[in-house]
Structure 1
Amino acid sequence: MAYLHHDCSLPVVHCDLKPSNVLMDENKTAHVADFGIARLMSSTDSASSKYGLRGQVSTKSDVFSFGVVILEMVTSKRPTDDMFTGNKALPNWVRTTYPEALEKVVDREMVGDEWRVEGSIESTEQGSWLTSLIGMALRCTRYSPAERPTMREVEGVLERIVNGAAYGNLEGYPSVQSLLISGYGFSHLNSGTSSSSS
C-alpha cells in the first residue's frame, strides 16, 4: 500500500482494502488483489479529500481500511458483525479498551500461552508488540482523515515493531514475529482463504 500511495507516478487508491483482497503466496508474502474500483489520483487531488464526496477518493481512505484490517486480524471480528449496530463500530469497540483492557477484545489465539493463562496483556512479550500494533491501527481509523498517518508512516511503524522498537510512547518491546512474519493472518476471517497482510 505504501508503494501504491507513494512510489507510483500517480498515487493509486485501492478503495476496497479488506482481508479477502490481501492474498498470500507460497512464501507467505502478502499481495494486494482486486483493483476493480481502484482510482488514480492526479497531482491536483487533495490527499485529505474524503472518499465518496463528489466522487473524490483519498489515500487516507485506504489508510482507514488498513487499520480496520489490522483490527479484524487481532480481534477475529468483522466490521459487519451483528454486535456492531448503531454507533458501535469495530474501531470504537477496540478504542474503549485501549490500552489497559485489550484482553477484552483481542483474540487469544493471536498471543502466546503465557497471556492465555495469566490473562494480562501487559505482563507478556506478545502484549507489548500487540499494544503497539493496535495503537497504530487506531490511529489509522481516526475519524478525521487529516489525523490519520500516511501509509509511508504506517510502514515505518510496522518496521519498528518488527525490529523491536515500539510505537508512540512505548519503548523496548519485542518483535511481532508471530503476526507479521509467520503468516497467521486472516485464515480465521476468510473461512479457508489463504490470505494475510503485512
Structure 2
Amino acid sequence: MHLIQRLNVAINVVDVLEYLHHSCQPPIVHYDMKPSNVLLDDDMNAHSLATSVGVIKGTNGYVPPEYDFGSKMSTMGDVYSYGILVLELLTRMRPVDESLKDDMIMRKFVETYAFPERIMEVIVDPTTI
C-alpha cells in the first residue's frame, strides 16, 4: 500500500470516528482502535470499524496508558488509539514492535528520535513512497 493509500485510510477512519463521537447520541467510544479492526473495501477505502459490542477490551500498544490505571474509557482514548494507528500506517511498525530496544514503545520512539524534524527520514517507511 502506497503512502497516499495509507493517508486515505487514515482520513476514512477519522471520518468514522468523527461520526461515532459527534453524530451518535450518546457518543460511541470504540475502545479498540487498531488496524485489524478497520474494514476496507476492494478499493482500500475504510467504511467501518469492527468491534465486539458490550465487551470492554483493548489491545496493548493501542490503548492509552491511563486505561492501565483505571481511567474511564472516553472518546479521547479513541483519539490516542487513532494516533497510534496513523503512526503504524506511516512506519509499518507495530506499537510494541520487537525491533524497538529497551522496551520502548513506538509512540516514544517517534517522539524521541523523529518528531518533528525527521519525520520523512526516520518515520515514513520508504517502501510506501
TM-score, structure 2 normalization: 0.66
Tell me, yes or no, if the aligned pair for 1:23 and 1:31 is still in contact at 8 Å: yes
Larger Rg: 1
Q: Which amino acid aligns with 1:4?
A: L
Structure 2 equivalent of residue 148 of structure 1: none
Aligned to 1:8, which of 5, 8, 24? 24
State whether structure 2 residue 110 is matched by structure 1 residue 89.
no
Structure 2 equivalent of residue 105 of structure 1: 123
Q: Which amino acid aligns with 2:97?
A: D
Tell me, yes or no, if the aligned pair for 2:39 and 2:50 is still in contact at 8 Å: no
Gaps of 5+ in 1: 40-49, 112-198
Give the Cα separation in 2 of the matches to 1:70 and 1:54.
25
Aligned to 1:60, which of 66, 76, 90? 76
CA 1:80–1:54: 2 relative to 1, 3 Å: closer
Give the Cα separation in 2 of the matches to 1:98 and 1:109.
20
Give the Cα separation in 2 of the matches to 1:99 and 1:55.
29
Structure 2 equivalent of residue 23 of structure 1: 39
TM-score, structure 1 normalization: 0.45
Q: Give the paired residue count.
A: 101
Q: Percent identity?
A: 38
Give the Cα separation in 2 of the matches to 1:53 and 1:92.
19
Q: Which amino acid aligns with 1:100?
A: E
Q: Which amino acid aligns with 1:105?
A: I
Give the Cα separation in 2 of the matches to 1:105 and 1:15.
25
Give the Cα separation in 1 of the matches to 2:53 and 2:103.
27
Give the C-alpha shift of residue 55 in structure 1. 6.9
Give the Cα separation in 2 of the matches to 1:84 and 1:37.
33
Q: Which amino acid aligns with 2:46?
A: A
Tell me, yes or no, if the aligned pair for 1:13 and 1:59 is still in contact at 8 Å: yes
CA 1:38–1:28: 2 relative to 1, 3 Å: farther
Query: How much is the aligned-residue C-alpha RMSD, in angstroms?
Result: 2.3
Tell me, yes or no, if the aligned pair for 2:96 and 2:104 is still in contact at 8 Å: no
CA 1:100–1:54: 2 relative to 1, 3 Å: closer
